Each structure stands twice: as structure tokens, then as C-alpha cells.
Structure 1
Amino acid sequence: MRARRAAMSPLARHLPRGMGNLLVGGFFIAVTAYGFVRGGHLDEFRRTYGEPQHAIASALGLGIKEITISGLVELTPTEVLGAAGISPKVSLALLDAAEVRRRLELVPLIKEASVRKLYPNELSINIVERKPKALWQRNGELFVVAGDGTVIDMLNDPRFASLPLVVGDQANLHSKDYIALREAAGALKSQIRAGILVAGHRWDLKLYNGMDIRLPEEGAVAALTRLAALERDEHILEKDILSVDLRMPDRLVMRLSEEAAAARAAQLTKKSTKPKGPEI
């Protein structure tokens, strides 16, 4: 017995008191964890409780028990939480607030987001939504766009069906200019159905009666003022006209429909063949 104690004493002097018990306990924990994983129990645990580290943090009182979301206008709390990746299986302690903010700002309708963790178990989310400002028609599809031209979503909600409509390549990026032009149209505004961006720098207006109004690149507001005066004095928009070209400041060019053009030609022919009276 004496020789045995002498052989063990050098090792004992190098180990802290109680280390042996910890090593034995760690060994059994490792074996148990290995069996837990090999037996497929880890996947079942994740499905039920989430990732082990989150489950442990929640068990220690650092889960998420209260969530405050402010700034909602069009979005719902369920949509925000889904985009953020937040569920009852996520703990507050291990939540990456910067990553949650990044994920939220990937949502087209969300312009800005802020995320705060309030220990021990409260999460605060504030978002600033982009406001739908116009509809953009491209390749036969309609999209809801924000004031800066960002595409929010396809038009699936009838609430947005009455928004100003722009048509053409990159017309969404210029929708703010069209909306300002439309507001400057005064009494003509209610007759404008859509704005068509031409060559990326000027607008044609499509009216509800099918007439096209061609506006100049410069002085579009002044051209609309001229058109408003013509409509007030001569009711030009009620005539059988296909288009009105306002691109030249000193003249106005109108294109008649086939019927109106034929009637006009017949009238001119009749005038030219009418016999002249005796000269005095």
C-alpha cells in the first residue's frame, strides 16, 4: 500500500482539488451527448425546442417573452417576425440584433429598421415603411413602387389600384417627376390615366378617353397649362382627336381619327368645288 501511494502522489500534486471528479463527469456528459446525437435525438430536440444553445439560454430566463413592434402601416407583425427570423425558439441572449436589422431592411417595403434587446426578455423593433406612391407597368405586369422608385411588390392589393400609373422602362425611377406633373395639371388631372416615359427623359400622357398628349422634355408644365386653356375655351378633349402634340412652343399639332380626318377632307373638298359668285 505504501509503494502504491508513492507512485500516485506526483500526479495528484499537479491536479487541482476536485479535478478528477470533473473529468469523470465531463466524460459521462460527452458519452451521453454522443449517444444523443447518434440516436437522432438532437434533430428531434431542435424541432421541438430549437437550437440547444437557445434552449439553454431560455431555460435560464433569457428567452423572448415580449416583443414590441412600432411603425407598422401596411405590414403585419407576423410578416415582420417572419422576415426577421424570430420565433419562440430564439433566445434574447443569443439574438444578433444587427443581423435581424439587416434581414428586415431586405424587405422592399421597409426603408429603415432598428432592433433593441431589453434584458431580461423583451425585444423592441421599430421600422420605417416605404409609402406606396405609384404603380409601374412593365412587360405587362403591374408593380407597386415607393416615392424613390423602389419596387415594393406586385400589385396584389386592390387598395393600391388607384395610385398614379407610369409605363415604360425605368419609369419607376422617374415616377416622382410624373406625380408632380400630374398635380400641376389642375382640372385635367382627373382625365389623365397614365404617364408613359419616352426615351427616359420626357412624358406622354394617356387620357381616359384614349387620347395621347405628347409633352416636351422642357416646359412640360407650361404645355399642360396651354392644354388646360384650350380645353376651357374650346373643349378640345371632347373632339374626335387621337393625339395632341405640345412639343413645339409656338404651335399645336393634332392628329384626327380616321372618321374625323375623312369628314375634314370631305368638308375641304366641298369648299374647294363650290362655284364662285360673280365678281363685282
Structure 2
Amino acid sequence: MDRGGRVVEPLSAGPAGGTAARAPRQQAGGRLAGLSLRLLRSMALPRFGFRRRSSVSVPFARRVPRLAGTCLALGFFAAIGAYGLVLNGSYADFKDAYGDLRDVAARAVGFGLDKVTISGIARLGEAELLRTAGLSSRNSLVFLDVAHVRRRLMEDPSIKSAEVRKLYPHELLINIVEREPFALWQLNGDLYVVAEDGTQIDQMRDPSLVDLPLVVGEGANLKAADYVSLLEAAGPLRSKIRAGMLISGRRWTLKMTNGLDIRLPEEGAAAAVRRLVRLDREAGLLNKDVLTVDLRMPDRIVLRLTEEAVAARAENTKKKLQRGVKGIDT
């Protein structure tokens, strides 16, 4: 107690004396502070990506995979061997026989080109199509460039469109659309099969196409569709038209089966053909002894007679003149 009768220390059970009582509390506070600091560090370190390295070192021999040295050595000698094959030309023979090394490896693990499914072919043969696409058993599906295969197919004029798709693990799908033969085109004595747009498909080899419309002359293949429309306008005379000859790239001359030539105008050719049909129906024009019927002028027809017709006409004229002279003398 102090001089005023007041108690300085709290009246509580425990060890006597203030210092002795405060010491345990200070030690407890120190332990709590240390524990809190360690807690904060453990929470902060992972947040900023810090990690303490282990003080235990792993020997280098244990960190390297087993047989790594053997594999590296084999790879080194294989690279030297491949380089030697390239230098002496043996690799080219190997490639021709088995394909690229990567294709050989892909086929070994089950990604070879074992099946090719083709749809849309009508006149092309499967073997011919595979040669055009550049496909063989040496290819692998993994390293096959489908865009390159499609470009090769599109270079064939008989193919209008092509689609190429991979179907893993070992199948290739090819869908093509062929150009349809539309007409025959004769140029410089050679005969070709052309499509409706004038594309030259192939030389004429198929006898079943002999009845296709025939166009003659430079650029006539590009106007084959116009010629076919003239045949449609001819109606009953269509079977008597043998070919259409394009003159100067501008107008048509119809070659008839009896050797007669029908010269059509550049403009209004279909109307001129219909006029020809009417004249033949009314006067049998195509059965006359004429070589050429010129329909290029809308208001008249110019005929060129055969030599026999010219001679007969001259003889008739001579006889008429002789009869006229005799009539005068009488």
C-alpha cells in the first residue's frame, strides 16, 4: 500500500511481485509475434512466386533419362548416314521406291494412305485420276498436302471442280465434278471435245460422241452454245445441218449435208435461220441446184448456182433468144 492507503498491485491470485507476473506475459507475446511473422511470410511468399530452393542437390546422372547417351549417339550416326546417302544419290533411289523418310515413319505407325474413295467420276478412270492427283502407296495421310492434290486435279480440263478430304487414320476422300461433252470442235484438221463454256476437254477418241454438234474454225469452241441455239431455231432442218463454220470470229456459215452453204448475218442469225426454214417449206430452196444461199441482207436472198445450173440456165436463155429471133423473122 502507498501512503494514502491504496493498493498499488492488483489484488489477484498469482505469484507475488509485478516483475514475476509480467515475465510470462512478455514471453507469450514474443512467441505470438514470432508465430504471426512466420504466418505472414508463408502467406506472402507463394503470392509473389518465391520458393525456397531445396538444399538437397540431385546428382546429374539421376536427372538424365536412361539410355539418353545411346539414343544421341545413334541419332548422330543416322544423320551422318542420311547425309552420305544424299551425297551419293542413293537417297533419291530410296525416295522413288519408298517415299520421303517422314512418310515412311508415318506409315510405320499406322498413318499410311491405304484407301482412296472416289466419287463423281463418269468417263475418267480411277487409275488415271490417281495418276493425275499424284497419289500412290508411298504417300502417308499425315504429310499429304490436300491443297496440292486438288490443284493437280483442277489442272485436268475434264474436271470442273474437285474436293479432297482426309479421313484418319488411313483414308482419303475425293469428290469431283466432270465437265460434260457439249460439242465437237475442228481446228486445223484436229478434232476436239469441248464443254459448254468452250473448255477443250480432250481429243475426239470416243465414237459415242460423234453425234455432238460440230463447230469449225478458230474461236468456234467459245461460241458453241450460240451455234446450238441456231440448231434449235432450225427445227425440221436441223438434221440437214452438218456443221457450223465461224467466219472471222463474228458470223456463222451453216454447212449442209448436201454441200450447200448458208451464210448467216452477224446480227439476227436465228431470225435468218427461221426465214430459211420458211423458204424451204414453201419453195424447196434446199433442193435447188445452188451452192450458196446468202441471208445476210434482210430484204433479199442471194443465190450462187452450181456449174451445172449455170450451164443449164445459159442453155435455156440461149433457146429463149433463138425462139425470139425466129419469131421476129416470121
- The TM-score, its normalising length taken from structure 1, stands at 0.88
Match of 1:229 among 265, 278, 285: 278
**Higher CA-based Rg:** 2
Match of 1:272 among 311, 315, 321: 321
Q: Which is richer in strand? A: 1
The structure showing larger relative contact order (alpha-carbon pairs under 8 Å, at least 6 residues apart) is: 1
- The TM-score, its normalising length taken from structure 2, stands at 0.75
Query: Is 1:263–2:312 an aligned residue pair?
Result: yes
Q: Deviation at 1:95?
A: 0.6
CA distance in structure 1 between the aligned counterparts of 2:88 and 2:149, rounded to whole angstroms: 33
Query: Is 1:95–2:120 an aligned residue pair?
Result: no
Q: Output one character per residue of 1:94-142: Cα deviation in whole Å (capped at 9) or x when no partner.
A: 1100000000000010111110001111111011111111111111111
CA distance in structure 1 between the aligned counterparts of 2:304 and 2:89, rounded to whole angstroms: 77
Change (3 A) 1:247 1:33: closer
Query: Is 1:28–2:99 an aligned residue pair?
Result: no
Change (3 A) 1:261 1:38: closer
What is the match of residue 64 of structure 2?
17
CA-based RMSD: 2.2
Match of 1:247 among 271, 296, 300: 296
Match of 1:180 among 218, 221, 229: 229
Q: Output one character per residue of 1:201-257: Cα deviation in whole Å (capped at 9) or x when no partner.
A: 110000111100001111211111111112112222112110101111111111100
CA distance in structure 2 between the aligned counterparts of 1:37 and 1:138, rounded to whole angstroms: 49
What is the match of residue 188 of structure 2?
139
The residue type equivalent to 2:158 in the other structure is: L
The residue type equivalent to 1:101 in the other structure is: R
Moved more, 32-41 or 233-242: 32-41
Change (3 A) 1:260 1:40: closer
The sequence identity of aligned pairs, in percent, is 54
Specify the SS of the correspondent of 2:110. helix
The residue type equivalent to 2:181 in the other structure is: P
Change (3 A) 1:99 1:40: closer
Match of 1:126 among 154, 175, 180: 175
What is the match of residue 252 of structure 2?
203
Change (3 A) 1:47 1:218: closer
Query: Is 1:54–2:94 an aligned residue pair?
Result: no
CA distance in structure 2 between the aligned counterparts of 1:198 and 1:79, rounded to whole angstroms: 38
Specify the SS of the correspondent of 2:310. helix
CA distance in structure 1 between the aligned counterparts of 2:112 and 2:83, rounded to whole angstroms: 27
What is the match of residue 123 of structure 2?
74
Specify the SS of the correspondent of 2:109. helix
Specify the SS of the correspondent of 1:127. strand
Q: Deviation at 1:38?
A: 6.3
The residue type equivalent to 1:77 in the other structure is: E
The residue type equivalent to 1:135 in the other structure is: L
What is the match of residue 219 of structure 2?
170
The residue type equivalent to 1:17 in the other structure is: V
